[in-house]
Structure 1
Amino acid sequence: MIKKMVNFDVESPSEAALRAIDVHELLPQQEPFVMIGTLIHFDKTLTVTETEVQKNNIFVDDDRFSASGMMENIAQTCAARIGYVNKYILKKGIQLGFIGAVRNFEVIDLPHVGDVITTRVEVKEEVFGMTLAEASITCGDKVLVTSEIKIAVKEQEEA
């Protein structure tokens, strides 16, 4: 999918400006391993993505998006945040991130194929390339997953 370039305030972008960004430009992952659909909110502490659960997703089983898929969706929402900061604010390339720890990962329900899930990642602390965040996935008003996640970012090597 080709999206047109939109000029916007990178520090406080509108939802329309964020929706115009192709998330593939923000992530190190490529298809078929992209687990987020659209970036819909970004600020210094909160990143939100929206994703329609697709039947051909590798984490769909019996028409339900698995807990593993939702964990990857949270991790990629974190990666989209890092990618957005690097591309639009710091003017750097994509950095690889790694899940350092997951705590209190609670799955309340699994979404179905066709459901649109909303993933929120709220940064609680950033220190020495490590980000500690609280995450949740909802479908409409229903909470599906809550978790804490720690992401480590690999520093880019100088060329």
Structure 2
Amino acid sequence: MNKLVDLIDRDLVKQLIPQREPIVMVDALYEYTETTIKAGLTIAGNNLCVSNGVLREVGLIEHMAQSVALHTGYQFYLRQEPAPVGYIGSIKKIDINALPKVGDTIYTKVDILQEFMGVTLVELQTYINGVLIASGSMKTVLAKEE
């Protein structure tokens, strides 16, 4: 199922992820399939991870992880279920070539390599204006329901 969704409504995107302000690091969903997502963020000056007008590495990595969370959240949304809480399980490798500045819009393409029992293995690429600024792979883990 390939869906171009272009969710510009930040409020809807926020409903699809478990994170809340001030740590929300995605504000757009551009494309969704069962195994991919393209998620975006326009860097605001008041972003918690901005320093000296630049989104720091931790913010970029959190954006990448929240892009994965948005994929999961959208899956649950399509089934009319609440978004689950998840965590970064491990980061295998992240290469950062450039950091976005306030006003830049970044987007991350997530490729789901494997999902099994709440653990998701992904490859990630983050871009500004079509230029690759970061890439890597990580595992995310859904929290167990109590």
**Structural mapping, 1:1-159, within 5 Å:** 11-16=1-6, 18-20=7-9, 22-88=12-78, 90-157=79-146
Q: Is the 8 A contact 1:95 1:155 kept in 2?
A: no
More strand by share: 2
Q: CA deviation at 1:87?
A: 1.6
TM-score (norm 1): 0.85
Whole-Å separation in 2 of the counterparts to 1:156 and 1:92? 14
Q: Is the 8 A contact 2:107 2:126 kept in 1?
A: yes
- Aligned AA (2:61): M
Whole-Å separation in 1 of the counterparts to 2:71 and 2:53? 28
Structure exhibiting the larger radius of gyration computed from Cα positions: 1
Unmatched segments (≥5 aa) in structure 2: none
TM-score (norm 2): 0.92
Identical columns (%): 27
- Aligned AA (1:44): E
* Segments ≥4 residues shifted beyond 6 Å: none
Whole-Å separation in 2 of the counterparts to 1:155 and 1:122? 23
Change (3 A) 1:53 1:43: same
Whole-Å separation in 2 of the counterparts to 1:39 and 1:141? 16
Whole-Å separation in 1 of the counterparts to 2:80 and 2:2? 16
Q: Is the 8 A contact 1:65 1:113 kept in 2?
A: yes
